[in-house]
Amino acid sequence: MPIGGSKVGERLPGYRGLALKMLLEAGADIGDLIRIVKDNVVLEGILIPRSEYSDDKHVVIKSRSGYNIGVEITPATRVERIRAEMKPLFAPPPPPEQRAGLPKVTILSTGGTIASRVDYRTGAVRPVISASDLYSIVPELSDIALIDAEILFSIFSEDLTPKHWSAMARAAADHISRGVDGVVITHGTDTMGYSAAALSFALQNLPVPVVFVGAQRSEDRPSSDAPMNLIGAVYAASRAPFAEVTVAMHETPSDEAIIIHRGTKVRKCHTSRRDAFKTVNSKPLARIVNNKIFILANNYQPRDLERKIILRSEFDERAALIKFYPGMNPKIIDWYVSEGYRGIVLEGTGLGHARRECFPAIRRAIDAGVIVAMTSQCIWGRVNMNVYSNGRDLLSIGVIPLGDMLAETALVKMMWCLAQSKSIDDAKNLLIANIANEFSDRTVEHFEPPKFSRREGALEIEN
């Protein structure tokens, strides 16, 4: 399924105008050693591609010391090609030997930071590494599992759509029914929470775990969290006692513990930290420290290779997530109805409220057969629409309260329910049923891991 992917680069990527003309005249290619003579200064270096968003007046060379510098090209500048040098090329080391007798794990690669490197077209990081590259870069994986890798897509997670969720679910189900011990899906972190929720609903009756994994620091840097996250994810996929859709990421800024979140309860809560993912309104499922799994929530579905997976991979994209804000124009709701949307998840204020001015529009939507459900923009806590009259009125209009479900999970579930149901009533019933631990009946004192050294299973520092 070819969605996204990178363009095949032209001969001198990023160069335009005068700079391109001079380089072409000199017969220079990317990776050639060139000499630039300008105002009596002679500069030599390897020609490096240039970001396509940069201007057309500079040439970028890598000097002998390894530094890149940009040289402004004027009509008086002379460019000469000296000779060919090594081409910029990423050649991962050969993958380690696969050891027989280990559990089998499939790594499905979808893109994102965990699989990204420097892109000379844009000067930014971009997904290019295949799952087998990751395997060769993180050789420790060969001690944990027998790995089969498949590239599904190579795109940033913000470009993913519900169609991709369906494709991921089908691929995972396919590998699982062929008998693997677990599936790892490498994913961009921005929308990993949505995808994890989607597969939590789409993959029913799982016999083995499906573990999403991402990285907040790209793999090309020594401090990347990708290797440790990936090792943790493969470890969980191959050995965890549970068979659920989960997310594996750093628990803290330290390279100490990987925390396993449930796919329906997890949310990206920070733009850049390694521990950006948090389980909301619940406890995480497990923690992995030094290749040991510590279970934190006991109500999991156990691993059972005999269980037959049920695939429910369709999503109806005619559902929307609308964040209520002071002064919101009710016509926004009317617009969705007129566009043929079948479900609306409201992210209300506090316990699940919206402005009274919006009530007629909400009523019109419900009368038109649209399912309207309520979640809270507070993120933490559950909605309770019986406390204030505003909430009670919304309930009487027919808005469905969604307890402590995350707004993002609620949107995904709405899309799934609409696709899985023949009638509106069926869809409503499915929406309020607890399918994959998206609801929790009890909220206990906010779970916060104790500090560094005292934590259960914390890494002991060797001496």
Partner 1 sequence: MKIDYYALGLKVGLECHQQLATRGKLFCSCKPYLFKGEPEIIFLRRLRPTQSELGQVDPAAFFEFQKGMKILYEADAETSCLVEMDEEPPHELNREALDVSLTIALMMNAKPVDEIYVMRKIVIDGSNTTGFQRTCVVAVDGSINVDGKNVPIQHICLEEDAARKIGEEGFLIRYRIDRLGIPLVEITTGPVINTPEEAERVALAIGKILRSTKRVKRGIGTIRQDLNISIRDGALVEIKGVQDLELISKVVEFEVQRQLNLLKIRDELRRRGLREDELKGEFFDVTSVFRETRCQILRRAISQGKIILAVKLPKLAGLLGFELTPGLRFGGELADRARFWGRVGGILHTDELKSYGVSDEEISELRRSVGAGEEDAVVIVADKIENASDALKAVVERVREAINGVPEETRAANPDGTTRYMRPRPGAARMYPETDVPPIKITREHLERLRAQLPEPPEEKIKRLMSSYGINEKLARQLLDMEYDDLFEFTVKETNVTPTVAAATLTETFKALKREGVKIENLTDEQIVEIFKIVALEKTSKESIPEIVKWLTEHEGSSPMDAIKELGLTMVSEEKLKSLIEEYLDKNRDLISERKLGAIGALMGIIMKDLRGKAKPELVNKILREKLEERLKG
**Which helix or strand (DSSP H or E) is residue 78 part of?**
strand 78-84
Alpha-carbon torsion, ordered 421, 425, 426, 428, to 10 deg: 90
Minimum Å distance from CB 61 to partner 1? 10
Nearest to 361 by CA among 327, 335, 340, 330: 330
Minimum Å distance from CB 122 to partner 1? 8
Stretch that binds partner 1, among 115-123, 327-335, 412-420, 423-431 (CB under 8 A): 115-123
Q: Does 384 bind partner 1 (CB under 8 A)?
A: no
Asked if 30 contacts 87 with a C-beta cutoff of 8 angstroms, the reply is yes
Token pair 């406890």: residue:
283
**Which DSSP string corresponds to 396-462?**
HHTPEE-TT--HHHHHHHHHHHHHH-SSHHHHHHHHHS-SSS---S---S---PPPGGGSTTPPPPP
Strand partners of residue 184 = 107, 211
CA–CA distances in Å: residue 52 to residues 15, 32, 49: 7, 20, 9
Q: Does 462 bind partner 1 (CB under 8 A)?
A: yes
Q: Does 54 bind partner 1 (CB under 8 A)?
A: yes
Q: Which amino acid is at 80?
A: E
Q: Does 287 bind partner 1 (CB under 8 A)?
A: no
**Which helix or strand (DSSP H or E) is residue 363 part of?**
helix 359-367
Stretch that binds partner 1, among 113-121, 235-243, 315-323, 378-386 (CB under 8 A): 113-121
For the segment 414-453, give every residue that binds partner 1 (CB under 8 A). 452
Of the candidates 190, 225, 275, 404, the residue annotated as catalytic is: 190
Stretch that binds partner 1, among 39-47, 181-189, 316-324, 412-420 (CB under 8 A): 39-47
Minimum Å distance from CB 272 to partner 1? 5
Sign of the CA dihedral running 233, 234, 235, 239: positive
Q: Which residue, 216 or 281, is less far from partner 1 as judged by CB?
A: 216
Sort strands 319-323 and 343-348 into parallel, antiparallel or unpaired. parallel
**List 5, 253, 302, 360, residue binding partner 1 (CB under 8 A):** 253
Of the candidates 265, 268, 278, 413, the residue annotated as catalytic is: 268
**List 11, 25, 27, 68, residue binding partner 1 (CB under 8 A):** 68
Stretch that binds partner 1, among 70-78, 206-214, 359-367, 387-395 (CB under 8 A): 70-78
Q: Which residue, 225 or 408, is less far from partner 1 as judged by CB?
A: 225
Sort strands 182-186 and 116-118 into parallel, antiparallel or unpaired. unpaired
Q: Which residue, 59 or 183, is less far from partner 1 as judged by CB?
A: 59
Residue 268 a catalytic site member: yes
Q: How far apart are CA 193 and CA 37, in angstroms?
A: 53
**Which helix or strand (DSSP H or E) is residue 60 part of?**
strand 58-62
Q: How far apart are CA 86 and CA 127, in angstroms?
A: 23
Strand partners of residue 321 = 345
Q: Which residue, 181 or 219, is less far from partner 1 as judged by CB?
A: 219
Minimum Å distance from CB 119 to partner 1? 8
**List 4, 123, 381, 457, residue binding partner 1 (CB under 8 A):** 123
Return the SS3 of 61: strand
**List 6, 17, 84, 90, residue binding partner 1 (CB under 8 A):** 90
Q: Does 75 bind partner 1 (CB under 8 A)?
A: no
Of the candidates 189, 191, 279, 409, the residue annotated as catalytic is: 189
Q: Does 70 bind partner 1 (CB under 8 A)?
A: yes
Residue 190 a catalytic site member: yes
For the segment 196-235, give every residue that binds partner 1 (CB under 8 A). 216-217, 219-224, 227-228
Q: Which residue, 58 or 170, is less far from partner 1 as judged by CB?
A: 58
Strand order in the sheet with 343-348: 319-323, 343-348, 371-376, 400-401
Minimum Å distance from CB 8 to partner 1? 19
Q: Does 13 bind partner 1 (CB under 8 A)?
A: no
Catalytic residue IDs: 113, 189-190, 268
Positions touching partner 1 (CB under 8 A) are 39, 41, 43, 48, 51, 54, 58, 60, 62-72, 86-93, 118-120, 123-125, 216-217, 219-224, 227-228, 252-256, 271-274, 452, 459, 461-463
